[in-house]
Structure 1
Amino acid sequence: MEGQTNQSILVVDDEDRIRRLLRMYLEREGFVIDEAEDGETALEKAFNDDFDLILLDLMLPGMDGLDVCAEIRKQKATPIIMLTARGEETNRVEGFEAGTDDYVVKPFSPRELVHRVKAVLRRASATAFLNTTTETHNVIVFSELTIDHDAHEVRAGGQTIQLTPKEYELLHYLALSPDKVFTRETLLRDVWNYEFFGDLRTVDTHVKRLREKLNRASSVAASMITTVWGVGYKLEVPKD
């Protein structure tokens, strides 16, 4: 074992063989593993415990992975990696629309999956964004939107907004260069980087979810994420 992380992962798959394989590789890396073999059990455990990450199979008996992911997203921003034997483009887009943070197609390399787990957990950690252990004040402030990078917290209209790691990264990236237009290709490269291989609609689905979450607290904050048709997106500062 490389070292005890104390980070907990819920592995959700109806195949016992897959669960045992993932448990073996992840426990070897020091993760604490719990299991569920169907969607209903997965939801119960996800709501009753605070897991650091959930590995969620798409094809489950009863409630499928997309529905489980969507229900979790109503209450929690726990990072989710979707596992599926179906690698078609449509399924990938559906997964991201439901709120998953990454997508792995079966059959997969267990070592690659462990790498993706660690990458998503790094993005989910507030300390992953700090370059120093000393006190800092890395805060971006707009009239209706505040991003505290040190605390990894977003507030819109005075309310704290619960974002997934990727939604946060996307918003922070745009906010670092207000009024600058970024193409979808640039956002895929810089926000998703080499760890993700997807299509441009992935950016669109994340922007849509980000706007929806911001809009619940502030329509002004939501409208700041502007579509530049035929090009991409920017975070537009409201003009007084």
Structure 2
Amino acid sequence: MAQLLILTSAPDAEVLPGLALLSHSVRQIPASPASLVNAPSCDLIFLDARHDLAGAKSMCKLLTTTGLTAPLLLVITEGGFAALTAEWGVSDVVLADAGPAEIDARVRLALGRQSMGDDQPKIQTSGVTIDEASYSAKAHGRTLDLTFKEFELLRFLATHPSRVFTREQLLSEVWGYDYFGGTRTVDVHVRRLRAKLGDLESVIGTVRNVGYRFNVQLDEENERVTPPVGS
């Protein structure tokens, strides 16, 4: 059982209903600097970003710049995904209507990643470096300003180098089986991802009439793909 802390601008509201069905110990306090001074100790923090993304982002920066040691999970609505980038500094995100099984899995994964510390491997291939622990990516050492879905798309393709995925497969793996948008979403994200990769845009290859793949630059002998733990 983990000690969980919820930070919210609506202390009287139920931020994550699915938590009530789990055995974790949960405390809920206002998301304010004053409340953090005497905040109870915890293993993991949930930050409520359902209604105030700007305020939640400011709170993330405050937490990460003041020596936060516990994993930080963001509670958002579906519409909040578009605003997320690596600079938020969160460990993971969870939808407010997530079921107890998903919430429990995300808690366990976040705590497990923390226990592994800096020993968790990074994905390094073809000039691209992906740090799953911090949800950040770099191209030739340059930090990429990626949205959450752009990061997930890059991470998924890079961990399956040279394998071709259809748009439908990418929708299922990256967006989830319950996503109701069309396959054009994949094309839009690939186009944006390539633009941000700059001179490395060719690592996201197109296979005509099929889909996309991650192209490994074989001439870069010093780089390799390190698969994530558990894969």
- Partner of residue 225, structure 1: 204
Identity %: 31
Instruction: Quickly say closer, same or farther: Cα 1:7–1:136, change in 2 above 3 A.
Output: same
Contact 2:166 2:212 in 1 (8 A): yes
Shift of 1:145: 0.8
Amino acid at match of 1:53: L
Instruction: Quickly say closer, same or farther: Cα 1:47–1:165, change in 2 above 3 A.
Output: closer
Post-superposition Cα deviations, 1:79-133, rounded to whole Å, max 9, x if no partner, equal 778xxxxxxxxxxxxxxxxxxxx7xxxxxxx8xx13299559939x666679x95
- Partner of residue 180, structure 1: 163
Give, in whole Å, the separation in 2 of the partners of 1:205 and 1:44: 25
TM-score scaled by structure 1?
A: 0.53
Q: Does 1:237 align with 2:229?
A: no
Give, in whole Å, the separation in 2 of the partners of 1:166 and 1:57: 12
Amino acid at match of 1:145: V
Shift of 1:181: 1.4
Give, in whole Å, the separation in 2 of the partners of 1:76 and 1:135: 19
Shift of 1:195: 5.1
Amino acid at match of 2:156: Y
Q: Does 1:169 align with 2:152?
A: yes
Shift of 1:182: 0.8
Aligned partner of residue 4 in structure 2, secondary structure: coil
Aligned partner of residue 114 in structure 1, secondary structure: coil
Q: Does 1:52 align with 2:73?
A: yes
Instruction: Quickly say closer, same or farther: Cα 1:122–1:168, change in 2 above 3 A.
Output: farther
Q: Does 1:25 align with 2:25?
A: no
- Partner of residue 210, structure 1: 193
Shift of 1:233: 0.9
Aligned partner of residue 52 in structure 2, secondary structure: helix
- Partner of residue 6, structure 1: 5
The Cα RMSD (Å) is 4.6
Contact 1:129 1:150 in 2 (8 A): yes
Post-superposition Cα deviations, 1:17-58, rounded to whole Å, max 9, x if no partner, equal xx96644736746374768xxxxx825413420173243586
Aligned partner of residue 5 in structure 1, secondary structure: strand
Instruction: Quickly say closer, same or farther: Cα 1:116–1:211, change in 2 above 3 A.
Output: farther
Contact 2:6 2:28 in 1 (8 A): yes
TM-score scaled by structure 2?
A: 0.54
Q: Does 1:122 align with 2:109?
A: no
- Partner of residue 159, structure 1: 142
Contact 1:10 1:55 in 2 (8 A): no
Shift of 1:156: 1.3
Unaligned runs of 5+ in 1: 12-18, 36-40, 59-64, 82-101, 103-109
Contact 1:144 1:220 in 2 (8 A): no
Shift of 1:150: 5.7
- Partner of residue 200, structure 1: 183
Amino acid at match of 1:49: M
Amino acid at match of 1:156: A
Give, in whole Å, the separation in 2 of the partners of 1:134 and 1:224: 29
Give, in whole Å, the separation in 2 of the partners of 1:162 and 1:177: 22
